[in-house]
Amino acid sequence: MPLYLQDEPPEHFEDSGIIPVAAKYKSPAPIPSQRRRKEKSPRWLRRTRRAIKYIKWRTLLVVTITMLTVIIVAGLVLIADASNRVQSSLSSLQRVVESVRARQGTDLTMTDFNRLQASVTDLSTNLETARKQIAFVGLFASFNPEIEANLATINSAYHLSLAANEMLKGLQPTVFFLVSGDDNNSVVSGAASGSRIVELMQIGQGSVFSAKSYLAAAKDDVAKLDLTRLSASSILNVEGLIQYREQLVQVNDFLTVAPDLLTAVLGLSREQHYLILSQNNDELRPSGGYISTYGWLTVRNGRVTDYSYSPTTATSPNPPPPQMATQIKVPDWWISYGEPIYAAWDGSWYADFPSTADMSMWYYNNGNNPQSPVDGVISIDIVGFEYLLKALGSVTLPDYDLVVTPENFRQVVYDIRASGDGDLPHKRFLATLYQQIFAQWENSNVDPQIRQHLMGAVLQALQEKHIMLHFADSNLNDVTDLLGWSGAQSSSTNHDYLMTADANLGNKSNHSIARDLTYDVDIQADGTLKSRLTVGYDYSQRVAANDPAVDAKHNGPLDYDNLLQIFIPPGSIMGTTTNFPSEPRRVDTASYTNLIAEVTVPFDSSERFQLNYQTPPLIETIGSYHRYRLLVQKQPGTLADTASIQVILPANAKILNVSPSQSASYNLDRPVLEFGLNLKSDVWIEIVYEN
């Protein structure tokens, strides 16, 4: 075949009738690159490629998404199940805690401690199980901030429970010693040996330090969460954990330094000297009462080794040099003194007891009085002494041929004053009585039952601000603040706040006067509060007839002249007032707006003094949630004011959480919550709601 026909296609030959003949020459060699491509395509790959052509990608995508959804939903179910189990354990723990709180401190036993420890352990176990149960869900945490938050809060709660457990373990040797090894004994059975308590608390320090590492881990668990991506409920959970952690940190810090602090307070390393202020709360002052008598005591190795009591006079205790009076800045609205330096001793204008105690220490130390400089101040009022007397049963005063009991205490105290010899014999009698109470207290160590009753009386008086403590050492003051034993006035910034403080200007009638507070709060859309406060006084002749302190002949005029202070949030705007003789004077500080007015309640009458004001924005917003908080503080020395609080929420508000539980709730176009309080101590109210 001619060469020019060799490359012709077969169809050409068919059409031309020419029969092709095999070529004598080879076709050109394949292109090398084509040969390499065929060599790199093994049979299994070619089959795979052919199979891929028949895959339905849309179906595969749907199936994959469905599987992922099932896994995520299963994870959420596990989270919910884990949360339910944890919530059950937490509820059980809360029931135990409330049960323990309901008992007096001196009635607590090793059985109570074991129940508390078992509940914390159960909570830790369930939290650990929950962590393992939902660990795989962490693979999806980066895709869903709510899942991430759930995991973080469970981890944080787990570490907090471990911290609490470690702290309880650290306390176990001390508690075991206090109950003398008997589960049914109270915690004061072995409280006489202060040095042994310190030794046992030092033994438990290893667990206390372990708790510190768990608290740090709990902080890290939630520290990286972006709260702006979370729902309001998740934010509340995180904030709740942060608050719990802060409380546990405070307790842990206290346990860390407790051995050193107890060593100092109990005089285990050196003698400690304390000034005692006996405040007469029948004649109220803002931080307790008029200081009619005072004393000092020396403590060494946990025992009172020396003490003395004296009446207050112009020269007892010795005042500081007159030229030091310029160091005391007395407000121009306070009681006027011929010698201004005495204002530092009289009970002061402060509703904050630590400020009053600091001035008293300054007065006592700079007068070079016995045992000065003192290491701290112990304040006790008439009610506090009544509690101690009730625990002792009776006190015998040989010099007066009297047996003083809780039933005749007030009568004999004021009978001495009514004898006609002035108030100095009355003060001397009180000094003798109080000194004998301390003497019998010291001798009570031989009777465990009386010792237990005395400790119960002291704890009750501390909780109700009838005994207050203040120290020269600021570390000790941190502890008394934590325990609520300092009588300190709290700051009122970032939340609603209310405190009223009377100063009796003329008699000793406060035991017979019932004071009550009515506080109405209307929450506005912009977070401000329209507030109305009514301070009521009921001064009944029927009640006063049984009170030996109400005596116009010996104890001052019958009418109640009162210098009233009302503390509300700083920056509040005043509105109208009712029944005040003149507009209350206003004093602004960074912590409060203080309203001051002199008012009178005639004998056998009732009076109500009312004022209206609007606060700055005080509602905290968390996503779609809102939180209202109110702190109502008790004035030291008062018996137990009643307080009626009404909070009106915005329209359509949905209430999510209320603490403490409201007394009543109803809806009059807007939700309304009512609270009835008995102010034996400070009270917090918190309401969380959603618009």
Residue 117's pLDDT is 83
The phi-psi region of residue 184 (left if phi > 0; otherwise alpha if psi is between -120 and 50; otherwise beta) is: alpha
Q: Which of 431, 414, 382, 400 is nearest to 554 (CA)?
A: 414
Identify the CA nearest to 258 among candidates 109, 464, 480.
Answer: 480
For residue 190, what pLDDT band results from cuts at 50, 70 and 90?
very low
The answer as to CATH 1.10.150 being correct for domain 59-265 is no
DSSP single-letter state for residue 321: P
Q: For tokens 């050409």, what's the residue?
A: 12
Could you tell me which residues come within 8 angstroms of residue 177 by beta carbon, excluding any fewer than 6 positions away?
190, 196, 197, 200
- Work out the pLDDT band at 422, boundaries 50, 70, 90: low
| Domain segments of the chain as ranges | 59-265, 272-483, 496-690
Residue 95 confidence (pLDDT): 59
Of the candidates 533, 594, 531, the residue with the CA atom closest to the CA atom of residue 564: 594
Query: Quick one: angle between helices 145-178 and 57-101, nearest 10?
Result: 30
Query: What is the per-residue pLDDT for 247?
Result: 84
Window from 60-69, 141-150, 169-178, 343-352 with minimum mean pLDDT? 60-69
CA distance 220 to 132: 19
State the average pLDDT over residues 431-452: 76
* Predicted pLDDT of residue 644: 98
How many CA atoms does the CB half-sphere of 239 hold within 13 Å? 15
Listed residue (361, 575, 447) closest to 455, CA to CA: 447
Measured distance CA(530)–CA(613) in Å, rounded: 6
Q: What is the pLDDT of residue 178?
A: 73
Q: Give the integer Cα–Cα distance in Å for 211 and 516.
A: 44
Over 90: is that where the pLDDT of 51 sits?
A: no
pLDDT of 172 above 60:
yes
The CATH number, out of the four listed (3.30.390, 1.10.260, 2.60.40, 2.30.30), of the domain defined by the range 496-690: 2.60.40
| Pure H helices in 266-375 | 353-366
Question: Which residues is 621 bridged to in the sheet?
Answer: 626
- Three-class SS state of 343: helix
At residue 103 the predicted structure's pLDDT band, cuts being 50, 70 and 90, is low
Share of residues in the chain with pLDDT > 90 (%): 45
pLDDT at 520 over 60: yes
pLDDT of residue 187: 47
Average pLDDT of the chain to the nearest whole number: 83
pLDDT at 108: 66
Distance CA 556, CA 435 (A): 27
| 669: its two tokens | 């176009």
Helices 110-133 & 145-178, crossing angle to 10 degrees? 160
User: pLDDT category, 58, cuts 50, 70, 90?
Assistant: low
117 within 8 A of 168, measured Cβ to Cβ: yes
**What's 623's DSSP letter?**
T
Percent of the chain whose predicted confidence (pLDDT) is above 70: 80
Q: By C-alpha distance, which of 254, 267, 64, 78 is closest to 171?
A: 254
The span from the CA of 408 to the CA of 390, in Å, is 11
DSSP 587-609: EE-SS-EEEEEEEEE-TTEEEEE
The dihedrals phi and psi of 662, each to the nearest 5 degrees, come to -70, 155
What local confidence, expressed as pLDDT, does residue 526 receive?
A: 94
pLDDT band at 451 (very low <50, low <70, confident <90, very high): confident
Q: Taking residues 256-281, what's their average pLDDT?
A: 90
Residue 171 pLDDT greater than 90, yes or no? no
Higher-pLDDT residue of 677 and 36 is 677
Assigned token pair, 199: 């030794």
Taking the C-alpha atoms of residue 308 and residue 278, their distance in angstroms, rounded to an integer, is: 12
Contact 509, 560 (CB under 8 A): yes
Q: Which of 501, 367, 475 is nearest to 359 (CA)?
A: 367
Q: Which residues pair with 471 in a beta bridge?
A: 376
**What is the rounded (10 degree) CA torsion for 342, 346, 349, 353?**
120
Residue keyed to tokens 């502890």: 479
- By C-alpha distance, which of 336, 454, 326, 303 is closest to 385? 454
Mean pLDDT, to the nearest integer, of 372-387?
Answer: 95
**pLDDT at 364 (0 to 100):** 97
C-alpha radius of gyration, the chain, whole number: 38
Give mean pLDDT, residues 285-306.
89
Q: Cβ(307)–Cβ(272) under 8 Å? A: no
- 486 residue type, one letter: S
* Residue 407 tokens, joined: 């039933």
pLDDT of residue 196: 82
CA distance 452 to 179: 12
Residue 286 CB contacts under 8 Å (≥ 6 apart), including other chains: 347, 348, 349, 350, 351, 356, 501, 502, 503, 565, 635
pLDDT tens-digit series, residues 322-355: 999 999 899 999 998 888 899 899 878 999 999 9
Domains 272-483 and 496-690 share a fold: no
Q: Which two tokens stand for residue 10?
A: 């077969």
Instruction: Give the C-alpha separation, 325 to 331, whole Å.
Output: 13
List, for residues 75-97, the tens digit of each pLDDT value. 444 445 555 554 555 555 555 55
CB contact burial 304-315 (16+ within 10 A = b; e otherwise): eeebebbbbeee
Task: Read off the pLDDT band of 426 (50, 70, 90).
Answer: confident
Decide if 469 contacts 334 (C-beta within 8 A).
Answer: no
The token duo for 254 is: 């206290």
In DSSP notation, 350-379 reads: -SSHHHHHHHHHHHHHHTT-TTPSPSEEEE
Cβ contact 116:169 at 8 Å: no
Whether the pLDDT of residue 486 is over 50: the answer is: yes
Give the pLDDT band of residue 448 (cuts 50, 70, 90): confident
CA 566 to CA 606: how far, in whole Å?
19
b/e map 377-398, b = 16+ CB within 10 Å: bbbbbbbbbbbbbbbbeebeee
The answer to whether the CB of 355 falls within 8 A of the CB of 370 is: no
pLDDT in tens, 387-400: 999 999 999 998 88
17 pLDDT more than 90: no
Cβ distance 646 to 521 under 8 Å? Answer: yes
The highest-confidence range among 110-114, 197-201, 247-251, 647-651, by mean pLDDT, is 647-651
Could you name the CATH architecture of 272-483?
3-Layer(aba) Sandwich (3.40)
- Are 637 and 667 a contacting pair, CB within 8 Å? no
**Residue 591: CB partners within 8 Å, gap ≥ 6?**
491, 492, 493, 570
Using CA atoms, how far apart are residues 666 and 687, in angstroms rounded to an integer?
Answer: 15
* The pLDDT of residue 331: 94
pLDDT (0 to 100) of residue 687? 95
**Which of 82-96, 212-226, 641-655 shows the highest mean pLDDT?**
641-655
Query: Which of 115 and 526 is assigned the larger pLDDT?
Result: 526
Question: Which pLDDT belongs to residue 200?
Answer: 87
121-135, 188-202, 399-413: the lowest-pLDDT one? 188-202
Burial of 324 (0-12, 13-18, 19+ CB in 10 A): middle
Nearest to 381 by CA among 467, 458, 478: 467
- Rounded Cα distance between 177 and 200, Å, is 8
